[in-house]
Chain A
Amino acid sequence: MFFRILKKDLQRKRAMNVILLLFIIMAAMFLSSSASNLVTVFGAVEHFFELSNVPDYIIISLAEGRDDPVAEFLDENKWVTEYQTVDMFNLTSDQIEIKSRAALADKHEYEKTSTLAICPIPEKFLKVFDEEQQPLVLKDGEIALARVEAERNHLAAGDVLSVQVGDVTQEFTVKTIVKDATFGTTMMGFKRLYITEHDFLKFAEQKTAVITRLHSVNYSDAAAFGSAYRQMQFPVISNVDREMLRMTYVMDMLMTVVLIVVSICLILVAFLVLRFMIVFTLQEDYREIGVMKAIGISDGGIKGVYLVKYLVLSVVGALIGFLLSFPFGDMLLRQTVVNIVTEYTEQNVVINLGCAAVVVLVVVLFCYGSTNRLKKISVMEAIRNGSNGERYHAKSRISLHGRKKMKPYVYMACNDITGNLRRFLLLLVIFFIGTQMILLPLSAVNTLKSEELIWSFSLMPSDAYLTSGNEELYVLKGGDVRLRDDLEEIKEALGARGYTASAWAEVGYTIPVYANDPDELYNYYSICRIGDTPKEDYQIIEGRTPQLADEVMLTEKTAEEMGVTIGDCVYYKLPEGDEAFVITGIYQSMINMGDGLRLSSEADLGENTMSGIFSTQIEVEELEAEETCEVLEEIYPESKIRGAKDFMKDMLGNIADQLNVLQFFIVVLVLLINSLITALMMKTFAAKERGEIAMLKSIGFADRTIRGWQTVRILLILAAAIAIGAAASRLLIPVAIAPIFAMMGGTHMKLITEPLQAYVLYPALLLFATGVVAYLGTGEVRRVDCKEINNME
Chain B
Amino acid sequence: MRTLTVKDLCKTYVVNKRQNNVLKNINMEIHEGEMVAVMGPSGSGKSTLLYTVSGMDTATAGSIDFFGKDLSRLKAKEMSEVRLNEMGFVFQQMHMLKNLTIYDNIILPAYQAAGGRGRSNRAKINEQARALMHKLQISEIAENGTNEVSGGQLQRACICRSLINHPKMLFADEPTGALNQQNSREVMHELNRINAEGTTILLVTHDVKVAAKSDRVLYIEDGSIKGEFTLGKFVSGTDTKDRERKLSNWLMEMGW
Point out residues on A near B: beta carbons under 8 Å. Answer: 391-396, 399-401, 404-405, 407-409, 411-412, 415-416, 419-420, 691-692, 695, 697-705, 782, 785-787, 789-790, 792
Contacts and interface: CB of A to CB of B under 8 A. Distances in A.
Given A699-B83, A700-B84, A787 B56 contact: yes
Contact of B84 (A395, A401, A701, A787): A701
A407 B77 contact: no
Contact of B118 (A395, A405, A702, A789): A405
B112 A700 contact: yes
Contact of B99 (A420, A703, A704, A786): A420
Nearest to B76: A703
A699 B99 contact: no
Contacts of B122: 401, 404
A510 to B, nearest CB: 72
A78 to B, nearest CB: 84
Interface residues of B, number: 43
B76 A401 contact: no
A262 to B, nearest CB: 37
B87 A399 contact: no
A692 B56 contact: no
Nearest to B161: A699
B58 to A, nearest CB: 9
B116 interface: yes
B57 A786 contact: yes
B119 A405 contact: yes
Contacts of A792: 93, 95
Contacts of B119: 404-405
Given A396-B101, A401-B103, A699-B84, A408 B118 contact: no
A785 B57 contact: yes
Contact of A691 (B87, B95, B148): B95
B101 A395 contact: yes
A781 to B, nearest CB: 11
With most chain B CB atoms within 10 A of its CB, the pick from A396, A401, A408, A698 is: A401
Contacts of A703: 76-77, 80
B66 interface: no
A392 B57 contact: no
A400 B84 contact: no
B57 A700 contact: no
A691 B97 CA distance: 10
A145 B219 CA distance: 93
B101 A700 contact: no
A412 B96 CA distance: 13
Nearest to A699: B109
Most buried by A among B85, B93, B95, B126: B95
23 contacts: A393-B98, A395-B99, A395-B148, A399-B103, A400-B107, A401-B129, A408-B111, A408-B112, A411-B111, A412-B100, A415-B99, A695-B97, A697-B56, A697-B80, A697-B83, A698-B56, A699-B89, A701-B84, A702-B76, A785-B57, A787-B57, A789-B93, A790-B93
A112 B113 CA distance: 70
Contact of A702 (B57, B80, B107, B129): B80
B85 A407 contact: no
A419 B103 contact: no
Closest A-B pairs by Cβ, 9 of them? A700-B84, A786-B56, A419-B99, A700-B83, A395-B145, A702-B80, A400-B104, A391-B147, A695-B95
Given A407-B116, A698-B56, A704-B77, A394 B99 contact: yes
